[in-house]
Every structure is written in structure tokens, then in C-alpha cells.
Amino acid sequence: MKQIIFILSTLLLMSTAYSQQPARITRIKDGDTFVAVWKHRSYTCRLASIDAPELSQTYGYESYQALSKIVAGKKILITAHTRDLYGRVLVNAYVDGKRLDSLLIRKGYAWHYSTYSHEAMLKQCMQDAILDKAGLWHCGKDSVCPPWLFRNYNYPNKQKYCMGCN
């Protein structure tokens, strides 16, 4: 039964892939993940091209708050692509005609996830944020710990390498 539901939800997702759908965000989970409703169904979504600090990481709560503030009370447009290993729908989202991922990167609340995205515009947004010392970059490039490293570090290494500039 779970396989049938998964297949049907995947087919539904594929039918909406690459077309913008109006959506409403009902819950923010962290700086790059949220729950959205479109076509009368709720989806856990992850912004496809960014990686935001984990909630337990330095600047994680600020990233969560930034996403919450940007989308508060606004309708968004979502372009769904596929699902990740955790079953989340990978999306591009647009708020007031602007890409949500570029807003978060440019304000220093997320990294351009260059492992999975090769968009020059997002790379430039991150370079601009670093140069302006925006958000998590306020102490410089060497004081930040990317979330993909943070997730893999054990507690002593998190304490050693991921404490920010405090």
C-alpha cells in the first residue's frame, strides 16, 4: 500500500514538475525546508539550490527566522522537481516575483549548494554576500562551517570547527 501511495504521489509530482503552482506555506521547519499546500495537498519542501545552517548550528535559528519573515502571509509560486532521499519535494520557490533561494543566499542566510546547483546567478549572490559580510558571513569566510560538514562532524569536531566567530 505504501508503494502504491508513493508511486501515485510521484506521478502527481511529475505532472506538476516544471510548471509553477500557487502555494501557501503552512510551516517553516528550518532555513531551507518548509511545508506547503498546493492542489489541496500538503508537501514537505526543500529549496533545491541552497543549504541553510542546521537549527542547532550557529546562525541556524537566524536562517529559520529569515525564511519565516520573507514568506509570512504571502502566496508563493512553486516549481517542483523531484524528491530527495528523505522524501521531501525539491522545489524552486518565488515570492513577490523573486526567487526565494537567491534572497536567502544574498542576505547571508544560506549557502549556494554548488554540489547540486551550478547556477552562476546563485554563485554570484553568495560571492556578494561574502564580500558584504552579510548574515552568517559577518566574521568572514573562514569563520563559517557549512551545514554539509556540520551534519557529518561528531560533537568534539563541531565544538572545534563550527562555533562561529562569537
* Residues classed as catalytic: 46, 54, 88
Phi, psi of 98 (to 5 degrees): -115, 145
Can you tell me the distance from the alpha carbon of 125 to that of 22, in angstroms, rounded to the nearest whole number?
25
Nearest to 59 by CA among 32, 100, 28, 31: 31
| Cell representation of residue 26 | 503552512
In this structure, are residues 23 and 37 in contact, taking their beta carbons and an 8 Å threshold? yes
Instruction: Residue 165: count other Cβ atoms within 10 Å of its Cβ.
Output: 11
